[in-house]
Amino acid sequence: MRLLLPLLPLFLCWLTSCSQQIGGGPAPTARASYLTTSDGKQLSLRHWNLQSRPQTVLIGLHGIEGAARDYGNLGKALPLQSPRTTLYALNLRGAGYDEDLPRQGDIGKARLWMRDLVELDTGLRARHPEARIIWVGESMGALIALKAAAQSEVQPDGLVLVSPVVSLDSIPGWQLGLLRLAARLTPWARVSLETLAGGSFQATTSSDHFSQSETNPYHVESYTLRFLNELAQLSEESSRHADKVTAPTLILHGGKDFLSNPRQISNFANDFSPPATLLNFPQSHHLLFYDKERDAVVYELLDWVNEKPQGTN
């Protein structure tokens, strides 16, 4: 583990933001507070603006060191700006609200995240058969939603990617190779993100990441190497997945987000066919839902949801 410390700081910085068919198995259920998955796991949900017959349903996926509650600012805006929209946000397996405490900070394979998303979509379509379903992913959640949209037989009616980390170009290939090897040899080995990152970084205009995240009730002390390796692969594959997405797509990016620069995000948006809609917020950092332009972020997101014709970017 000592060898990893000087080799992977950049990799861990972006993580702290952040072609097997998906689906099948017993039918999942989505209750008001929990998703019960096909493997019997219960994942808690937060919801806003609940309605019996919504026109649109948003499914929110949070980032690493995040939780479903991160969608609160979006959810609170619904009654005024998008009154016929309901938002369900999922607390991801392996995150801080996973009730299986030993599995917090761990994931066997990234496809489990994708399967959970698809099963939540399936359950909500059964509950709201007339509603459009739009997936909204933030940071790590954006990469999960992207891969699921590219590979699943269940397709969203729209895809919103908030602060996706779409490139690891700044990290030498041999360092990523070392991570893959370490994850293969000692997949259960754990390390804290702050230790590997060698310090914190600016997450919003007024806060740095680690001093803020360590006070959260859903803070995860350490992550397994296989968890980190799965995330690295999601980022490396992002451009390839974009080309396979058929749903209309919106990308939201902060101009001061050092985890993905404007050129990388612009190139990524053009990987979609047709190109995704890209909106930049020049004064914001990585955590768009919490930064100084958060009201504009929420407004533009919901404006796109309200106005976007199905099947077009």
The H or E element that residue 232 is part of is helix 225-236
Q: Is residue 251 one of the residues assigned to a domain?
A: yes
Q: Is residue 280 one of the residues assigned to a domain?
A: yes
Structural domain containing residue 175: 2-307
Indicate the range of 7-11, 131-135, 150-154, 174-178 predicted with least confidence.
7-11
Amino acid at 118: V
What are 51-60's pLDDT values in tens digits? 999 999 999 9
Residue count of the chain? 313
Mean pLDDT across 197-202: 54
Q: Is residue 312 one of the residues assigned to a domain?
A: no
Q: Is residue 215 one of the residues assigned to a domain?
A: yes
Distance CA 110, CA 44 (A): 19
The answer to whether 187 touches 268, Cβ cutoff 8 Å, is no
Return the percentage of the chain with pLDDT > 90, whole number.
68
Structure tokens belonging to residue 146: 């992207």
pLDDT at 177: 84
Other beta carbons less than 10 A from residue 186's beta carbon: 13
pLDDT at 1: 42
What are 115-170's pLDDT values in tens digits? 999 999 999 999 999 999 999 999 999 999 999 999 999 999 999 999 999 987 76
pLDDT at 75: 96
Nearest to 6, CA basis, from 169, 168, 174, 164: 174
What are 212-256's pLDDT values in tens digits? 556 678 889 899 999 999 999 999 999 999 999 999 999 999 999
Amino acid at 140: M
Q: Is residue 313 one of the residues assigned to a domain?
A: no
**Which region holds residue 34: left if phi is over 0, alpha if psi is between -120 and 50, else beta?**
beta
Mean pLDDT, the chain, integer = 85
User: What CATH number should be reported for the domain holding residue 272?
Assistant: 3.40.50.1820
Nearest to 60, CA basis, from 130, 116, 14: 116
pLDDT above 50 for 298: yes
Q: Is residue 74 one of the residues assigned to a domain?
A: yes
pLDDT at 72: 95
Name the pLDDT band for 40 (thresholds 50, 70, 90): very high
Name the pLDDT band for 31 (thresholds 50, 70, 90): very low
Name the pLDDT band for 312 (thresholds 50, 70, 90): low
Per the structure, the count of domains in the chain is 1
